[in-house]
Amino acid sequence: MIKLTINEIPVEVEQGSTVLEAATKAGVSIPTLCHHPKLTPYGSCRLCLVQVEGAKKLQPSCTLPATDGMIIHTETEPVKKARKFVLSMLFSERNHFCMYCQETDGDCDLQQAAYREGLNNWPITPAYLPFAVDASHPDFILDNNRCIICRRCVRACDELVGNSTLGFEERGSATFLVADYGVPLGKSSCISCGNCVQICPTGALIDRRSAYQGRETDLTHTQSVCVECSLGCIRDLQTRDNRLVRLEGVVEAPFNEGLLCELGRYKPFHDDRVRLTTPLIRRNGQLEPAGWEDALKLVATQLKVHDSAEISATISPRQTAETLNAFSEFFREAFQATDVTLLGHDQTAQVSLELEKEFGAFESHLEALKHCDNVIVLGTDLVKDHQVAGFIIKRQAARGTRVFEATKQPTKLTANATDRLACVTHDFSTVVELLEKSLNGESTEVTSELLGLGTGEVSTFFADMPAWQNTAIIIGKDFATLENLPACRALVALARRINASVLMLKGKANAAAAARIGLNTTATALPNQVYYLALGDGHTCEHVEEAFIKSEFRVIHASFASNLTEAADVVLPATIWDEEGGHYLVTDGHIEHTDRAIVQPENARTIYEVLWQLADKVGLQLPGDWESKLGAVEARVI
Amino acid sequence: MSFLDMDERLIELLKLVDLRATPITDLKEPDEEGVDVGILEGGLSNSYNEEVALKMRKRSKILVALGDCAVFGGVPAMRNFPGAHEALKRAYIETESTDSSGMIPNDPELSTPVHVRPVSDLVKVDVFLPGCAPSADAIFAALSELAQGRIPKVEGELNDWH
């Protein structure tokens, strides 16, 4: 431990800490701009200068290592004078007029720093050097005129997201932010995750939709789990007047640490489907508006007059654990319908349960991805399906983490990896065989050839496999099928031998909870006498669509109009993701909670609510016990 | 509006003040022998504004810059990025609602547009009261201090640029 004194306050920090970290620990606040807790200290803005006794000049506290016996002062006259000078220089360089900036009053770190130092005018007149504004991106705008060249965005793009799209051109006051080699953002290699926008301390990168729609303090913040995939990233829902304004990643969240992907940040805003506003009943071949009472009565009657084998029911994995459980209790347990399924084809969660029977707790926390030196990715395109996990692998691959990837389609996962081996294959048992042979030091010639890999590159890549440390094996939907269970077993056994972390990415939102509740996806769906589709705000898949349309009596509970609502006999308007609270079992087995952030339109009801109302109509009691079905799940993850 | 938002406090304030000149009273300029406090709002956008600023400085013991335009240059300073001529061309000739007869006003009586500057770029300013607009509370706090012979400290909540 290192002992130092900051403003007369003694503080102890670990070896390798910076003076800024020590100050935070001592409860001393030092203003910063280029510094961000999730980025490597950079020391470019000089706002965090402090006085170190014995040093001739002021030192930037963000990059200065704390040493034993240091005596630091952070509020002396020279320090305050230096801060005011640094701020004056920053304000003089570009267009930092707050009155016509979106990032104002509490949202802007530069403005906050000026307030903190009591700056009530700019001692240096601005230079008025104009830069072109880049509005080519559909989600955000780059205005170099408001940039302070702190490089937080560039560092976030590289260090956190691993995409390295952003960079700087020119030098000194002419420095400006560019995408790739100077192409418009909208035409660049940008993957639209928007993490640069979130991390920008000023108004240089602003969100198109939420710009000028209120300051942070005018917005209501609701923390909840993202439902676009099953990683369980925590996001901050920012709303105003019952309207979603902006989505941001929560920096304090253990896994995503502030990051979100394009889907998590922008997808809800791209949704232009038409909302259903009233229940509809088909009468004489035409769908006509109806009251909830009539619609529910009709559904209840149809359910009562049919046998359990004549009822099919499918639910979207985007629903909460409470809803999935009520659905299962209603259709599987009460009605004993044989065909009660989860929407989609992804069987990963079911496979994980099967493997658990044999191996016990065999999966790791997602955190394991952040510290691995070797990664094996099987049957999933992380760049598309679980993007934030993809960011973590990409950023590590650029810094020497070895990545072996076997997928059905070519992926863009590790374009800038230093050590990568990839094959495109449908034959996953051969992949496992290759891994086993590599580990045993056997000849991999034949298996390499089957996978379209050169024997030379395979042997180089896996040469020291028995000695691999910190290995993570990521398994996705194309590998983890029930059909492929033997290969999955062999893989988990292999993982045990090299002490690797195993992570099975479990499809959409709450697929893991659905599997534990007993709702499984199936490869096929058949038409039936009654088809109840609890779609919510999700999208359907082809085989369910076909079965639904061909069924005799079709009920759909959905948020948006679609070809299926047009084909249905009863249409019930549903809430959407931000209008309902509940629990989600995320990929690595812990339960996350989400709160309702928006009050739903008058006629929309949650799937959960409607199931209870239907139960009442048919004279059933639902136990509503979802917790015991998911219970003690956390203990099952290592 | 922010000034008027002081509401009934205006009356209290007026009791302490001998208002010598404002653009909306008959007396447009401060007395030649000088005044205690001169308050300027607006950035220096043309040759006339500069004349006013010089005269105010000369005749005021304490000069106050009130509002973001006077303190920083503000909204008029936006035109410094393209330049005054480009801004005038856009406003008088190129706007979608302008017909072909549009022209930049050139009456010799008009003052000449200049590179927009904050007041402090031309003359010494004693009190900066930024804000777009400064809140009624901030204006009242500053003026009541001045009326009682003190120099206001514009800091904390009073220092709010918006």
Residue A105's pLDDT band (cuts 50, 70, 90)? low
pLDDT band of residue B36 (cuts 50, 70, 90) is very high
What is the fold of A127-270?
A: Alpha-Beta Plaits (3.30.70)
Question: In one letter, which amino acid is A481?
Answer: T
Query: Tell me, what's the pLDDT at A417?
Result: 86
- pLDDT value at residue A225: 96
**Quick check: A416 pLDDT over 80?**
no
What residue in A sits closest to B70 (Cα-Cα)?
A121
- pLDDT-derived band at A635, boundaries 50, 70, 90: very low
**Nearby residues of A491 by Cβ (< 8 Å), 6 or more positions away:** A378, A432, A435, A473, A475, A502
Task: Answer whether residue A634 shows pLDDT above 60.
Answer: no
The CATH 3.40.228.10 domain(s) of chain A lie at 354-504
HSE (CB half, 13 Å, CA atoms) of A140? 25
Among A105-114, A316-325, B127-136, the minimum mean pLDDT is found in A105-114
Q: What is A2-75's CATH number, 1.20.120.450, 3.10.20.740, 3.30.1360.120, 3.40.50.720?
A: 3.10.20.740
For A368-386, how does the pLDDT look when each residue is reduced to its tens digit (9 = 90+)?
999 999 999 999 999 999 9
Average pLDDT, rounded, for chain A: 94
Any idea which architecture A354-504 has in CATH?
3-Layer(aba) Sandwich (3.40)
Three state DSSP letters for A558-570: ECECCHHHHHCCE
Pick B162's closest partner by Cβ from A105, A114, A122: A105
Is B44 in the A-facing interface, judged by CB distances under 8 Å?
Answer: no
A125 touches chain B (CB under 8 A): yes
- Cβ atoms within 10 Å of B99's Cβ, excluding its own: 5
Measured CA to CA in angstroms, residue A548 lies from A104, A289, A371, A533 at distances of: 51, 21, 46, 8
Please report the ipTM that was assigned to this predicted complex: 0.91
Kindly tell me if the per-residue pLDDT of A106 is higher than 90. no
**Inter-chain residue contact A130 with B82, CB threshold 8 Å:** yes
B24 pLDDT tier (thresholds 50, 70, 90): confident
- Percent above pLDDT 90 for chain B: 82
Which of residues 40 through 99 in chain A touch B, CB cutoff 8 A?
Answer: 95, 97-99
What is the structure's pLDDT at B57?
Answer: 97
Tens digit of each residue's pLDDT (9 = 90 or more) over A175-197: 999 999 999 999 999 999 999 99
Distance CA A285, CA A404 (A): 56
A118 vs B129, B155, B162: nearest CB: B155
**Residue of chain B whose alpha carbon sits nearest to that of A131:** B81
Nearest to A183 by CA among A129, A151, A142: A142
pLDDT at A339 over 70: yes
Residues of B whose CB is below 8 A from A97: 68, 72-75, 77-78
pLDDT of A636 above 60? no
* Domain boundaries for CATH 3.10.20.740 within chain A: 2-75
Taking residues B123-143, report their average pLDDT: 95
Which of these CATH numbers, 3.40.109.10, 3.40.50.700, 3.40.50.10490, 3.40.50.970, describes B4-15+34-77+116-158?
Answer: 3.40.50.700
Q: Which CATH architecture has domain A280-346+511-630?
A: 3-Layer(aba) Sandwich (3.40)
**Residue A128: closest C-alpha in chain B:** B81
- Pairing mode of beta strands A140-143, A133-134: antiparallel
Question: Residue A632: which pLDDT band, with cuts at 50, 70 and 90?
Answer: low
Distance from CA of A266 to the nearest CA of B (A): 28
Residue A7 pLDDT > 80: yes
Cβ-defined contact of B82 to A122 (cutoff 8 Å): no
Question: Any idea where the domains of chain B sit in the sequence?
Answer: 4-15+34-77+116-158
